[in-house]
Amino acid sequence: MEEREHKPRTTESGLGIRPVYGPADLDGWDPAERLGEPGSYPYTRGIHPTMYTGRPWTMRQYAGFGTAAESNARYRQLIAHGGHGLSVAFDLPTQMGHDSDAPLAHGEVGKVGVAVDSVEDMRLLFDGIPLDRVSTSMTINAPAALLLLMYELVGEEQGVVVGQLTGTIQNDVLKEYIARGTYIFPPGPSLRLTSDIFRYCRTAIPRWNTISISGYHMAEAGASPAQEVAFTLSNGIAYVRAAVAAGMAVDDFAPRLSFFFVARTTLLEEVAKFRAARRIWARVMRDDFGARNPKSLMLRFHTQTAGVQLTAQQPEVNLARVTVQGLAAVLGGTQSLHTNSYDEAIALPGAKAARLALRTQQVLAHETDVTATVDPFAGSYVVESLTDGLEEAAVALMGRVEDLGGAVAAIERGFQKGEIERNAYRIAQETESGERVVVGVNRYRLAEEELAEEEPYVPLRVDPAIETLQRERLAALRAHRSARDVDSALTALRAAAATPTANVLPPMKEALRARATVGEVCGALREVWGSHVPTETF
C-alpha cells in the first residue's frame, strides 16, 4: 500500500507537531518533576486531587444586554435551566466609566452588555436573585472597584452576610492597554487601585476573587497560545509585585488570584497550554515570590470558548466548534466555563441559542466519561511533548518582557501589542490564502441557491429607546438624592486618591451609597489621576 506524504504541520504557537509520537519523545523525562500528582506541585495535572470526579466545573454563562431588568430576566432563565453561576457583561459606557447620558455614551448604551449607572441599576440587575446562593463573575476592569462595591451594597440590602459573597471581578486593566482599550487611568494609578481592591477584599469580602488575569482578550486580538500564556502570566507577576510593594504579604492575597483563558478548536495544543500555564505559575510563585501557602501556587482559571473563531457563515457549524473548544477546556482542567452561543458572530445571543450553549456543557459533564478520571491526557506522548514545548516558548517570551523592565514597561513600549498584531496578521494571511481552513468561509461554502433556501435568521436587537430610558432614570436619581451628600462623598474620594497610602474603596463605597453615579465617581478619580494616552506601536 502506498504511503501518503505528510505535510509538516505546526501548532498555533509555531511549534512543530509530528504525525507520530512515542517513548523516545519523553526519553529522560521525569514524571515526578514534570507531572506530580493531581492537586500537588507543580499542578500540571490540575489543582484539585479529584478534579471533576467529585463535581463538575462551574457552568458560568456570560450574559448582559440592554437594561438591568432585561438582563435580570436572562439570568433567571439561565439559573432555571441549570446554570451554576452568573457572569455579567457590561456595556461600553460602563466599562469606560461614563454614564448613559454622557455625550460619549450616545449610541452605545446597552449594546454589548448591560447599562449600569448606579447602585439602583445593580439592584434591578439582581432582583430576586439571592446573592448568598449565587456566585457572580463581573467582566469589568478599569471601574471594577465600583461595580464590586455596588454588588456589596445590594447584598447588604438583601440582608446577606457580606463575608459570604462569592464571585470574581475581572479587574485586569493591564490587558486593556495591550488588547482591548477600555482603560481609564494611567498604568500606575490603575495598579494602585488593584492593590487597594486586594486589601479591601481581604477583610471585607474574603471569599471574593479579586482579579481574573485575562489572556482571553489577547487571544481574541490574535495572540498565539504561547503569547496568551506568556503575556497573561507576566501581567500576573506585575500585579503581585504591585501588591507586595504596597506592603501586602504574598500569601495574604495570592490565594484569591484567578485567571481567564480562551479555548480554541486546536484541542491538543489547548490542553497542553493549560497544563503548561499551571506549571509555570506554580514555579514563579514558589521560587520568585516565596509563596508558601499551596493555594498561592495554584493557577485557578475560567475559560470561555473562542468567540473570534465563530463565523457568521453557516452559523450552526459553530455548535460543533464550541463543543470541541469546551472539551479542550475541560480536558485542560478549567474551574469554570462559558460556552459561546452559535449566533454570537451575528448578534446578541437569542434565548434558544443561549440555552443550547449551556446544554453543550451539560452534555460534556453528564453524557461523556471525561469527568470519570483526573487528567485523562497525563502521560500522552504528544500532549506531554506539546506541554513542554509551550512552557519553553512562553517562558522565553516572559523573559523578553522582563528584559524590557516588566509588564508595565513593556506595555509602555508597545511590545506585547506589537507581537500580538504580527501574529494576527499571520493568521489573516493564512486564512486569505486558504492555508488555514475555516469551514464555511474559505472552504465548504454554500452555493447561492443553497443560501437562498436557508431559513432566515432573526437576530436579537437592543431597542435604541434604552438610552432614553437610562437618561430618564439618571435624571430621576439626581433629582431625588442628596446633592450635598454626594458632593461630600466625592470630595473625600478625591482626598483619598491624592494620598498614596490611603485605600480609595471605603470613600468610594460611601459615594456609591449616596447614589453617586459611575461617571461621577470615575470623573472624580480622573481629576486626581488623569487619563491614559496610548503609545502607538507603529
Strands (E) located in 383-489? none
Distance CA 490, CA 512 (A): 9
User: Residue 538's pLDDT is what?
Assistant: 42
Q: Identify the structural domains of the chain with CATH numbers, from first to last.
A: 41-433 (3.20.20.240), 472-529 (no CATH)
Q: Are 290 and 244 in contact (CB under 8 A)?
A: no
The three grid cell numbers given for residue 218, joined into one nine-digit string: 489577547
What percentage of the chain's residues is helix, strand, coil (to nearest 5)?
50, 10, 40
User: Residue 65's pLDDT is what?
Assistant: 79
The three grid cell numbers given for residue 282, joined into one nine-digit string: 506554580
Q: Are 519 and 99 in contact (CB under 8 A)?
A: yes
User: Residue 3's pLDDT is what?
Assistant: 52
User: Torsion-angle region of residue 110: left (phi > 0), alpha (psi -120 to 50) or beta?
Assistant: left
User: Residue 299's pLDDT is what?
Assistant: 98
User: Residue 6's pLDDT is what?
Assistant: 56
Distance CA 156, CA 283 (A): 39
User: Residue 415's pLDDT is what?
Assistant: 96
Which pTM was predicted?
A: 0.90
Q: Is the bond preceding residue 42 a cis peptide, omega within 30 degrees? A: yes
- Torsions phi, psi of 226, nearest 5? -65, -40
Residue 228 to residues 47, 334, 388: CA-CA distances in angstroms? Answer: 20, 16, 16
Quote the Cα angle for 239-244-250, to 5°.
90
Residue 362 to residues 58, 61, 82, 149, 176: CA-CA distances in angstroms? Answer: 11, 12, 9, 33, 32
User: Residue 348's pLDDT is what?
Assistant: 77
Q: Are 199 and 210 in contact (CB under 8 A)?
A: no
User: Residue 1's pLDDT is what?
Assistant: 44
- What is the residue-level pLDDT of the chain in tens, covering all 538 positions? 445 555 678 999 999 999 999 999 988 888 888 899 999 999 999 999 999 999 999 998 777 778 899 889 988 988 888 876 788 989 999 999 999 999 999 999 998 899 999 999 999 999 999 898 888 999 999 999 999 999 999 999 999 998 899 999 999 999 999 988 899 999 999 999 999 999 999 999 999 999 999 999 999 999 999 999 999 999 999 999 999 998 999 999 999 999 999 999 999 999 999 999 999 999 999 999 999 999 999 999 999 999 999 999 999 999 999 999 999 999 999 999 999 999 999 987 888 998 999 999 999 999 999 999 999 999 999 999 999 999 999 999 999 999 999 999 999 899 999 999 999 999 999 999 999 999 999 999 988 777 777 777 776 677 788 899 999 999 999 999 999 999 999 999 999 999 999 999 999 999 999 999 999 999 999 999 999 887 665 4
List b or e across 288-321, with b for residues whose CB sees 16 or more CB atoms inside 10 angstroms.
Answer: ebebeebebbbbbbbbbbbbebbbebbbebbbeb
